[in-house]
Chain A
Amino acid sequence: MSINVAKLEGILQNLVSGTPDVQGAALVSPDGLPLASTLPSGMDEERVSAMSAAMLSLGERIGNELSRGEIDRLYVEGDKGYGILTSCGEEAVLLVLASKAAKQGLLMLEIKRVTEDIKKALG
C-alpha cells in the first residue's frame, strides 16, 4: 500500500509551526529513506534520513549490548539545541529538532502526540 506522504508532511508541518522552539522534523523509513520532512534550510534530507535511521538502530544495539532494554527514544543535546529521535513502530523513525529554549516537557508531550498521529497515518 502506498504511503500518504501529503498527510505525513501535514503532520510534521503542524508540529513545527504549532510548537514553540521546534525548528524542524523529519520522518524516515527504518532503512534510512526520507518519507516526509520539514527541515531548516541547508540540511540535506537524504543525509539526515540515513543518519537518523542508523543512529536509532545503533541506539537499539547499545540498549541491547549494555542491557538498557528496549529503546524508544534517543536524545542529543548540544549547546544550540536538541535532536530527538523516536521510533514510530516498525514503519518509521521521527526526528525532531528544537532550540535550546524549548521546554522539554512540552516537547516530549508533542512528540508523543505526533507519534500516535503518524502511526495512524501509516496504518
Chain B
Amino acid sequence: MSMNRKELGEFSSIVCFKAVVTGAEEALGEKAAAITLISAGRNRGKHLAEQLGLKNGMPLADIVPALQKALGKDGTRLCIVDKLEQTDESIKVYCQETICSAGEPQGSPRKLTFTLGAIQGVLELVTGKRLRGKQIESVLRGSSHDVIEFETIG
C-alpha cells in the first residue's frame, strides 16, 4: 500500500522540483543532469502511455486528448499539450506551461528535460520507433509555446 498524504495531497511545489533540477546540475553538471532527467521522463512517459491504454500504431492525433487529460490541469500538471504536428521527417509537439520552463526568467537558456523525456516516452511507445527529441522553440525565448521536434533514429 502506498503512503498517502492526508493533508498535503498529491502535489508539491514547482520550487522543490526546480531545486532538484538545479541541485542535480550542480553535482553532476548540466549535461549529465539533463541526460538523467530526460531518461527519467522517458520512463515516466512509457508507463503513462501504458496506463492510458495507448497502443502502438494508433493515430497520433488521438493521443493529444489523452495527454491533455493525463498531464494537464486535471492530471499531474506536468504541462499542457496543445497540439501535435506530424510530417514525413518529424513530429512536432507544442506545449504550454511546462514544469521545466516554469519559474524561469525571460531570456533564460534553460531547456526542457523531464518534460521532453515524458512526451518522448509516450511517442516512442505509440510509434514503436526510437526517437531523438530537440527543443526548437521556448516560451523563455520569445515563443508562444515550448516546441519539441522528434526525429526517428535509424
A34 on the B face (CB < 8 A): yes
Stretch from A53-61, A66-74, A95-103, A109-117 contacting the other chain: A53-61
Stretch from B3-11, B35-43, B51-59, B140-148 contacting the other chain: B35-43
Say whether, besides A5-B153, A35-B153, A58 and B32 are in contact (CB < 8 Å): yes
Q: Tell me whether A46 and B38 are in contact (CB under 8 A).
A: no
Q: Tell me whether A50 and B36 are in contact (CB under 8 A).
A: yes
Q: Tell me whether B35 and A61 are in contact (CB under 8 A).
A: no
Q: CA of A47 to CA of B36 in the docked complex: distance in angstroms? A: 10
Say which residue of A2, A5, A50 sits within 8 Å of B35 (CB atoms).
A50
Say which residue of A3, A33, A54 sits within 8 Å of B36 (CB atoms).
A54
Say whether, besides A46-B42, A50-B36, A35 and B154 are in contact (CB < 8 Å): yes
Q: CA of A30 to CA of B39 in the docked complex: distance in angstroms? A: 12
How many B residues touch the partner, as a band?
A: 10 to 19
Q: CA of A5 to CA of B130 in the docked complex: distance in angstroms? A: 11
B152 on the A face (CB < 8 A): yes
Classify the interface of chain B: helix, strand, loop or mixed: helix
Say whether, besides A31-B38, A31-B132, A46-B42, A2 and B32 are in contact (CB < 8 Å): no
Most chain B CB inside 10 Å of its own CB: which residue of A2, A54, A55, A61: A54
Return 15 A-B CB contacts under 8 Å, by A number. Answer: A5-B153, A5-B154, A31-B35, A31-B38, A32-B38, A33-B132, A35-B153, A35-B154, A47-B39, A50-B36, A50-B39, A54-B28, A54-B35, A57-B31, A61-B32
Mark B residues whose CB is within 8 Å of A: 28-29, 31-32, 34-36, 38-39, 42, 130, 132, 152-154
For the complex with contacts A47-B39, A54-B39, A57-B29, 17 further pairs of A-B residues with Cβ separation under 8 Å are A3-B153, A5-B154, A29-B132, A30-B31, A31-B34, A31-B35, A32-B39, A33-B130, A35-B153, A50-B38, A50-B39, A53-B35, A57-B28, A57-B31, A57-B35, A58-B28, A58-B32
